[in-house]
Amino acid sequence: MDTTRTRASSGSPYEATVGFSRAVRHGQHVIVSGTAPIWPDGHVMPEAGAQARRCWEIALGALAELGGSVSDVVRTRHFLTSVADVDEISDAHGRVFGEVRPASTMVVVAGLVDPRWKVEVELDAILSD
């Protein structure tokens, strides 16, 4: 079994100061950190669905950087700030993972680090040999 550990970076200035990676691959397992809906220029779209789509774009990009794809995803997690956004966020998840159907959790939280964020996501994947 391959136990090589590799990391993917998003370029966030917080990675070095906080001490985290966008994603870590250890053997066949890939874990993607909490991923927020930020564009490279720092912009955040106001709509919950657009934010969810951006989160999955970033998270799946990190997974791809470490050799995985959407079909390898076995678990997803959503942290959202309002139950009113469940339908939009669920729709975004369904469009990405409708065929894969990973185990998934959705939790409403009091707030996220940036008040503009309506959703933050995580994923876990197990890559094929």
Structure confidence at residue 14 as a pLDDT band (50, 70, 90): confident
Domains of the chain: 5-126 (3.30.1330.40)
Q: Which position has the token pair 């942290």?
A: 79
3-state DSSP assignment of residue 11: coil
Cα–Cα distance, 85 to 49 (Å, whole number):
8
Contact status, residue 32 vs residue 63, Cβ threshold 8 Å? yes
Angle between helices 48-65 and 86-97 (to 10 degrees): 30
Whole-prediction pTM: 0.94
* Furthest CA-CA distance within the chain: 44
Q: Which position has the token pair 């990405």?
A: 96
> pLDDT tens digits for 80-118?
999 999 999 999 999 999 999 999 999 999 999 999 999
